[in-house]
Amino acid sequence: MDYHDAGVDIQVGRAFVQQIKQMVASTTRPEVLGGLGGFSGLFQLPTGYQEPVLVAGTDGVGTKLKLAQALNRHHTVGIDLVAMCVNDVLTCGAEPLFFLDYLATSALQPEQLEQVVAGIAQGCKLAGCALLGGETAEMPGFYQPDEYDLAGFCVGIVDKPALLESSKVNLGDIVIGLASQGVHSNGFSLVRKIVAEGENPHTGTLGWDWHDCPPLLGGMSLGEALLTPTQIYVQPVLSALKSGLEVHGMAHITGGGLPENGPRCLQADQALRLYPDQWPTQPIFAWLATAGKVSRAAMFDTFNMGIGFLLIVPSAQAQQTLSWFAQRDLAAYEIGEVVPGNQTTLGLPSYEE
């Protein structure tokens, strides 16, 4: 017997690395040393920092991968993978420098996984970071045929005096919400349950198909709406910081929604008071709530509800901040303020005041 008999094709693996080399190279930065294929990636720290602090983050895409695999559309989850990591690193005020991916599957399907890596490369270019390397693991017997899993790792940098910490947030600061592109990459266990078991008035039965086009979505299929990738906020937010806009704190709205993620940038005696009628939500959220009979409180506890990223700014800078993002075609809304409290979120239906 040999490795091929055990379900691992070494030659396919080698060919796959050659296939993706050009994609990886397209994300390079001047600080990258060497190329793809070594045991580790090499990256020289950029110059111009007085007290450089490295900021690291890691994440995955979750069960959204089930949807990508069901529809055989794999590009957008690669963008999701990068977005989930670089947006987290950004909350410290850090610039993402490089990204690494881990891709595990039962057996390499080059066309399928090439789409994934193409999405990862696109996400890295959107974030301005280098795809420094990664790992592709064949694990027959561990994953089902055509299944794969993803994990991502990102390292960024920020000057220590510019590091955003909760101590910079003040009572009376204004909360600016940057729009999401939809569900992003959280809550998909509930999404899949709603699609599988939710009431379908068009058929009179329970359950929907990913190709169904509910009227609420304006002709878009469920699969298309739900595979919309996570917004990458890095470039517009870093540009805002470099322009001199004063930002005291930031939060990436992921699993747990606004109630859980918003207070993570606050001091112990502060809270967020949000006003949900101050921003629009995408139609996909109305469809999920209706089809699954999901309470408004549960929707806010699970999904981003139209806001993917928060900036905490002094009240005197609120209008200037809104204008900055409007000029860059990224919808931004004044959605609340910092008030006395205990690291909670007030004003949402999921919070019992």
Please choose, from the candidates 176, 175, 181, 212, the residue with its C-alpha nearest in 3D space to the C-alpha of residue 305: 181
pLDDT value at residue 199: 83
Number of domains in the chain: 2
pLDDT value at residue 18: 72
Same domain, yes or no: 150 and 181: no
Among 159, 191, 217, which residue terminates a domain?
159
pLDDT value at residue 149: 96
Please choose, from the candidates 227, 62, 24, 67, the residue with its C-alpha nearest in 3D space to the C-alpha of residue 150: 62
Same domain, yes or no: 246 and 180: yes
Q: Split the chain (353 residues) into runs of 10 and give each run's mean pLDDT.
A: 70 73 87 82 93 97 96 96 98 97 90 93 97 91 91 97 96 98 96 93 86 93 97 97 96 96 96 96 96 95 97 97 94 98 89 52
Percentage of the chain beyond pLDDT 90 is 79
pLDDT value at residue 73: 95
Tokens of 94: 């850090």
CATH number, residue 130: 3.30.1330.10
Same domain, yes or no: 180 and 71: no
The DSSP annotation for 321-352 comes to: HHHHHHTTT--EEEEEEEEESSS-EESSTT--
Q: Is residue 42 part of a domain?
A: no
pLDDT value at residue 5: 67
CATH number, residue 174: 3.90.650.10
Among 159, 184, 204, which residue terminates a domain?
159
Q: Is residue 353 part of a domain?
A: no
pLDDT value at residue 65: 96
User: What is the C-alpha separation between 213 and 221, in angstroms, rounded?
Assistant: 4
Q: Is residue 351 part of a domain?
A: no
Q: Is residue 308 part of a domain?
A: yes
Q: How big, in percent rounded to 5, are the helix, strand and coil portions of the chain?
A: 35, 25, 40
Same domain, yes or no: 174 and 321: yes
* Sign, Cα dihedral of 122, 124, 130, 133: negative
Same domain, yes or no: 120 and 91: yes
Tokens of 203: 């058929």
Beta strands 148-159 and 95-105, pairing class:
antiparallel
Same domain, yes or no: 328 and 283: yes
Q: Is residue 63 part of a domain?
A: yes
Please choose, from the candidates 177, 187, 185, the residue with its C-alpha nearest in 3D space to the C-alpha of residue 303: 187
pLDDT value at residue 205: 81
Among 143, 159, 175, which residue terminates a domain?
159
Please check whether residue 108 is in contact with residue 136, taking contact to mean a CB–CB distance below 8 angstroms: yes
* Sign, Cα dihedral of 311, 316, 322, 323: negative
pLDDT value at residue 3: 67
Q: Is residue 275 part of a domain?
A: yes
Same domain, yes or no: 93 and 207: no
Same domain, yes or no: 199 and 128: no
Distances (CA, A) of 1 to 5, 7, 10: 6, 11, 14
- What is residue 44's DSSP assignment? P
Q: What is the pLDDT of residues 103-150, one digit of tens each?
A: 999 988 888 989 999 999 999 999 999 999 889 899 998 999 889 999
Same domain, yes or no: 189 and 273: yes
User: What is the C-alpha separation between 21 and 3, in angstroms, rounded?
Assistant: 25
Q: Which residues pair with 234 in a beta bridge?
A: none
Domain region containing 18: 10-32+47-159
Same domain, yes or no: 206 and 338: yes
Same domain, yes or no: 153 and 238: no
Q: Does residue 275 sit in helix, strand or coil?
A: coil
Q: Is residue 126 part of a domain?
A: yes
Same domain, yes or no: 252 and 327: yes
Q: What is the pTM of this model?
A: 0.94
pLDDT value at residue 145: 87
User: What is the C-alpha separation between 286 and 278, in angstroms, rounded?
Assistant: 16
Q: Is residue 1 part of a domain?
A: no
Half-sphere exposure of 327 (CA within 13 A, CB side): 9
